[in-house]
């Protein structure tokens, strides 16, 4: 899909008030789309990170407060849209140990509701969001889309279930759906439960960072690069029925990430490991590194932002939005 072909398109985004969702909404509007944005219902009518978007963007956004677990609401929400992006999910791995049923209801049943609604409404293209966590700790690297799936947490198990539903709707009903599998996205607006914002906020507040395991490696991808993957996947008919990794293609250990942040901030950081931040032994994912050959070949996807440049921009944003509780462990 060429960039100008988003003009006059009505597009829906679930999870629109979240980190990646808000960046995607902004990008879609900048490309000319009218966006219907689903934000989880709350009694204060807060729109999440959509509240921070410029007015010229929000003039082209129709916000709906609701819940993906409500099938009737989702059918009405999808009505009139030609393209859709499904990002709504419960995503915190630590919280999934405490509330696994919530993950099944939101991530699996919620996805089923979106799939059924899109099938009923005759959607032209649906892009659904998976996660690199479905692979578990790498059996080989870089991880391609054929890597075995391993449910090493209730969160990852729920996303595997959602992914299988998505595949079934393509195969059984010919729903024009693409599964995008982002690796560790980071950048402005990300929640403190994620490792990079958590480390940055602690480092900005002092000289000690409290962490869990510092040995695992992750493939960190800047949010604008992840969003570009979504737009490319939606616009490419050859991507229909496919599952596609989106990442940087490089990995870095948490220990080396801390060292890089210390260098960028020009300070020495002491590392304190805390028991409560450790995953259960058999649940830890030790290596994640994306093979993005499929994305490069099929979507012409190439990440543009280096980890150093992305961290610099992320640090600048969090310096202006410092947390009042930088050392709190948020599950």
Question: Which residues 6+ apart lie within 8 Å of 270 measured at CB?
Answer: 207, 208, 209
**Single pTM value for the model:** 0.95
Percent of the chain with pLDDT over 90: 91
Rounded CA Rg of the chain: 19
Delimit the domains of the chain by residue range. Answer: 9-251+280-320
pLDDT tens column, 114-168: 999 999 999 999 999 999 999 999 999 999 999 999 999 999 999 999 999 999 9
Question: Which of 211, 202, 193 lies closest to 92 in space, CA to CA?
Answer: 193
Task: Say how far apart CA 274 and CA 255 lie, in whole Å.
Answer: 14
CATH 3.40.50.720 corresponds to the domain 9-251+280-320: yes
pLDDT tens column, 245-287: 999 999 999 999 999 999 999 999 999 989 888 888 888 999 9
């Amino acid at each position: 899909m060429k960039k100008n072909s988003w003009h006059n398109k009505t597009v829906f985004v679930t999870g629109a008030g979240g980190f990646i969702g808000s960046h995607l909404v902004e990008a879609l509007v900048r490309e000319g789309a009218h966006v219907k944005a689903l934000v989880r219902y709350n009694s204060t009518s807060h729109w999440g990170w959509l509240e921070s978007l410029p007015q010229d963007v929000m003039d082209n956004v129709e916000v709906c407060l609701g819940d993906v677990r409500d099938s009737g609401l989702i059918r009405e929400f999808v009505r009139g849209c030609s393209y859709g992006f499904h990002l709504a999910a419960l995503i915190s791995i630590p919280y999934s140990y405490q509330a696994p049923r919530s993950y099944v209801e939101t991530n699996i049943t919620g996805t089923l509701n979106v799939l059924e609604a899109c099938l009923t409404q005759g959607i032209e293209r649906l892009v659904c969001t998976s996660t690199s966590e479905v692979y578990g700790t790498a059996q080989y690297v870089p991880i391609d889309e054929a890597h075995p799936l391993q449910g090493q947490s209730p969160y990852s198990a729920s996303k595997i279930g959602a992914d299988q539903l998505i595949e079934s709707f393509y195969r059984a009903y010919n729903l024009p759906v693409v599964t995008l599998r982002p690796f560790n996205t980071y950048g402005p607006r990300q929640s403190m439960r994620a490792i990079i914002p958590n480390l940055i906020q602690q480092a900005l507040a002092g000289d000690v960072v409290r962490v869990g395991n510092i040995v695992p490696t992750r493939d960190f991808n800047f949010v604008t690069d992840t969003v570009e993957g979504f737009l490319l996947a939606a616009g490419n008919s050859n991507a229909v029925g496919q599952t596609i990794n989106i990442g940087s293609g490089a990995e870095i250990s948490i220990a080396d990430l801390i060292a890089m942040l210390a260098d960028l901030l020009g300070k020495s950081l002491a590392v304190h490991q805390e028991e409560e931040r450790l995953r259960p032994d058999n649940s830890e994912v030790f290596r994640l590194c994306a093979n993005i050959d499929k994305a490069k070949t099929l979507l012409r996807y190439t990440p543009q932002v280096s980890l150093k440049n992305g961290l610099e921009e992320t640090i600048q944003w969090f310096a202006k939005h410092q947390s009042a509780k930088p050392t709190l462990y948020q599950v």
